[in-house]
Amino acid sequence: MSDATAGESVAVITGGARGIGRAIVDRFLHDGYRVLVFDINEKAVGEIADVAAANPRLEATQTSISDRAAVQAAIDGLFTRYGRIDALVNNAGMTQPGTFLDQDDDDWCRIVDVNLTGTFVMSQVVARRMVDAGRGSIVHCGSVSAHGIRTGPPAYAAAKAGVEGLSRLMAVQLGPLGVRVNTIVVGTTATPWLVGRKTEEELDAMRSSTLTGRLGEPDDVAAMAAFLCSDAARHVTGQLISVSGGQWLP
């Protein structure tokens, strides 16, 4: 670890090459972090790598978050280079079309593997480093789907509900060891993926489901993630914080 990097905070962002994840990456870079992006999408990782060529504080790896060996190798390498990991934002996720009556077992297993098992694997690998240092913040990106607000596949709702339970358990067990853990309950957000697949009528219906009359923007989630990983949130842990325009009222 060089003197030039010794004092810089280091963040790991999963699913950071696109959509909400990309906004989180940009916010953390703005706040002065070194950022390692995990993403499974080869094209998107390539685009991040192009940006990283001009920004030495940004790195990217094409890695599945549920592949423990690959995650361990990437985190070990990051720690060897910089000697610290201050923040982890578990944003990566996926879903497939389906309802309770027609979702098949293969889709169930894949969705749960990425959204819940991958979150567990990433969190455990990173938390062990944080515990050794006696400090750190972990933020999970959950969903209003876990609260029955949006229709969709049962595996996604179940996995995101599982993330909430995991988050609180982590907060209880890791809090005394210096690591804070919180979950952002993300509402309908105007990512390029969503906007490109919905009609204007569908988007209007989504807007009307919020108390603010608007869809969330990726930057809204990024701002909350940055806050939760900052010293300003040093007394905040074990919380579900809704960034949904009131779609979910806890």
The residues that are catalytic are 156
Q: CA gyration radius for the chain? A: 17
Bridge partners (DSSP) of residue 180 are 137
> Contact, 201 vs 5, CB < 8 A?
no
Distance CA 6, CA 28 (A): 17
Largest CA distance in the chain: 58
Q: Name the pairing type of β-strands 87-90 and 136-143.
A: parallel
Contacts of residue 233, Cβ cutoff 8 Å, sequence gap at least 6: 137, 180, 182, 227
